[in-house]
Structure 1
Amino acid sequence: MTTAKTKKKATKINRKEQILQALALELEQRPGERITTANLAKAVGVSEAALYRHFPSKAKMFEALIEFSEETVFGLIAQVIKKQDGVFAQVEKIMAIVLTFSSKNPGITRVLLGDALIGEHERLLKRTDQFFQRIETQLRQILREAELKGQLSYQGNISQFAEVLSSFIEGQLSKYVRSRFVKRPDENWVRKWLFFVNSVSVNSVSVKND
């Protein structure tokens, strides 16, 4: 049974989602520009005061978009890790998750790269940096564990290899923003992935449990 309280809560949640969707769209349609609360309110069709009833500040709106990114991306990564596929399959899927998420969310990509956060609170930039650090750490853990188990060999430092993979991801996202969302991060991904595969040699097809 739907009560008046439930309806009110649902309406509040939907309005917050509407505001965030409008913000993401404004970020996509106004590349290189700062989004003002006046523009955002106009896009949502409400007053600026109404915006602040749902979010106390614009920083909180950006923070909500970052949280959405974290929950979506790292939730999918957790599923990949749980399946215990081979090391290359895990790394490839993790990178593909981030690249595909960016391709589908151009406005949010501006936030993750800090492009849309100029003049905003420093904590937001720190949080986006942590987003990419978490991805690099996850890749490093997978590669290092596989190396210790003798499942792959790499002519160099495995941590630096993880850093290269992470830098590639950030580079593709940056290229996406610079191209005004024309050059999708996941474009020709399979062919690009082969470049990384050819730089290591596999000693085992799949990761085995101890």
Structure 2
Amino acid sequence: MVSRKQLILEALARELESKPGHRITTAALAKAVGVSEATLYRHFTSKAQMFEELILFAEEAVFSRVNQILSEEQLGRVRCQKLMFLLLGFSELNPGITRVLLGEVLLGENEHLQIRVDQFFSRFETQLRQVLREAPLREGQGAPLGAEGGAQLLMSIIEGRLHRFLRSGFSFSPMTGWDAQWEQVSRSLFLLESI
């Protein structure tokens, strides 16, 4: 059985998805869940705590899979491809949480939330950087951009695609055209003639 707390978080994510560009009030959230605002506050001390729980969900979902990818795959190119696919796919499946991760709904909220989101993306970038740093050691091929430049490029691509997804009202998938684009990006990152 799903807990009331879980139902509240799911309703918040749905409200964030269905109303892009709009703030979600506790009154509107309570109505969506079918409870009083007082009931919301019995489970969460503030709306900021609800957002923090969504960030925690994203961290657990994404980084548990990151660890799995890193243990299953050895080639740097394949690792990066799967990590990129993971975050873009997570965003596509969780548009409401994407609004939180991009900070769009955090304006005017507790500054701590923006720090948590920054940590999420920094941690993901660190994973990409580590993969790019290890690739020459494992595979004997250097990357022209280096680990730092390559990780920055990949994060720019991710963040750009997520922002476009948000800006389109979630109609333009972050996965659109990704396979062909990844082929080009990976060629420049890993000095490949063909994939």
Q: TM-score scaled by structure 2?
A: 0.94
Shift of 1:151: 3.0
AA in 2 matched with 1:50: T
Say if 1:152 and 1:202, in contact at 8 Å, map to a contact too.
no
AA in 1 matched with 2:156: S
1:62 to 51, 68, 76: 51
- For residues 55 and 168 of structure 1, the distance between their equivalents in structure 2, rounded to whole angstroms, comes to 35
What value does the CA root-mean-square deviation take over the aligned residues?
1.6
AA in 2 matched with 1:170: E
| Structure 1: runs of 5 or more not aligned | 1-9, 206-210
1:90 aligned residue:
79
- For residues 50 and 62 of structure 2, the distance between their equivalents in structure 1, rounded to whole angstroms, comes to 19
AA in 2 matched with 1:133: S
Per-residue Cα deviation, 1:7-56 (whole angstroms, up to 9, x for no partner): xxx6xx61111100100011111111111000000000000000001111
1:201 aligned residue:
191
2:18 to 2, 22, 29: 29
User: What is the count of residue pairs matched by the alignment?
Assistant: 193
Shift of 1:155: 2.1
- For residues 98 and 151 of structure 1, the distance between their equivalents in structure 2, rounded to whole angstroms, comes to 27
- SS of corresponding position for 1:107: helix
Shift of 1:149: 4.1
- For residues 93 and 166 of structure 1, the distance between their equivalents in structure 2, rounded to whole angstroms, comes to 14
1:6 aligned residue:
none
Say if 1:73 and 1:98, in contact at 8 Å, map to a contact too.
yes
- SS of corresponding position for 1:152: coil
Moved over 6 A (4+): none
1:38 to 7, 27, 49: 27
1:132 aligned residue:
121
| Structure 2: runs of 5 or more not aligned | none
In terms of Rg, which structure is larger?
1
2:106 aligned residue:
117
- For residues 35 and 73 of structure 2, the distance between their equivalents in structure 1, rounded to whole angstroms, comes to 48
- For residues 118 and 56 of structure 1, the distance between their equivalents in structure 2, rounded to whole angstroms, comes to 19
- SS of corresponding position for 2:191: strand
2:93 to 104, 117, 127: 104
1:14 aligned residue:
3
1:3 aligned residue:
none
Alignment of 1:189 onto 2:178: yes
2:150 aligned residue:
161
Structure 1 vs Structure 2: percent identity of aligned residues?
50
- For residues 158 and 70 of structure 1, the distance between their equivalents in structure 2, rounded to whole angstroms, comes to 23
2:159 aligned residue:
170
- For residues 40 and 155 of structure 1, the distance between their equivalents in structure 2, rounded to whole angstroms, comes to 49
Say if 2:130 and 2:147, in contact at 8 Å, map to a contact too.
no
Q: TM-score scaled by structure 1?
A: 0.88
Shift of 1:154: 2.0
Alignment of 1:73 onto 2:77: no
